[in-house]
Amino acid sequence: MTTTKSNKKDGSDRSNFFGEVYEVAKLIPKGRVTSYGAIAQYLGTRMSARMVGWAMNAVPRNQKVPAHRVVNSQGLLTGKHHFGSPTAMQQMLEKEGVKVVNDKVADFKNKFWNPSQELL
């Protein structure tokens, strides 16, 4: 499964942008994480990391999008408060083999999945 990069640089077509974000997020392998900025860069909207975060917060319930695998550029679980409990995001990551210490992905460099390098 692959996704196409957006031609929109300003994020003006929000619903299409969100859909593209979800398609990239669905490609993140279990046991790996990526960042909001890495998804934005892959989609050709490098300055839209915040929009990627909004997309992760707006995942429709009927879609299986592994939003728990998307963290900030330092590996911090900045979106953890959107998962129902303060520890749910960490628990989901640890279930997949991603160790989290003090709300940060341990060994972030080796757990990081870069869609721009993986999805050519």
Strands (E), 1-120: 34-35, 70-71, 100-101, 104-105
The number of distinct structural domains making up the chain is 1
Provide the pLDDT for residue 97: 97
Q: Is residue 66 part of a domain?
A: yes
* CA dist 98 → 39, 69, 105 (Å): 19, 9, 7
Q: What is the pLDDT along the chain (120 residues), one digit of tens a residue?
A: 444 444 444 444 556 999 999 999 999 999 999 999 999 999 998 789 999 999 999 999 899 999 999 999 999 999 999 999 999 999 999 999 999 999 999 999 999 999 999 876
Residue range of the domain that includes 109: 14-118
pTM above 0.95, yes or no: no
Sign of CA dihedral 28, 29, 30, 34: negative
Q: Is residue 107 part of a domain?
A: yes
Sign of CA dihedral 112, 81, 52, 19: positive
Q: Could you give the CA distance from residue 30 to residue 5 in angstroms, rounded to a whole number?
A: 22
Q: Is residue 8 part of a domain?
A: no
Q: Is residue 64 part of a domain?
A: yes
CATH, residue 80: 1.10.10.10
Q: Is residue 86 part of a domain?
A: yes
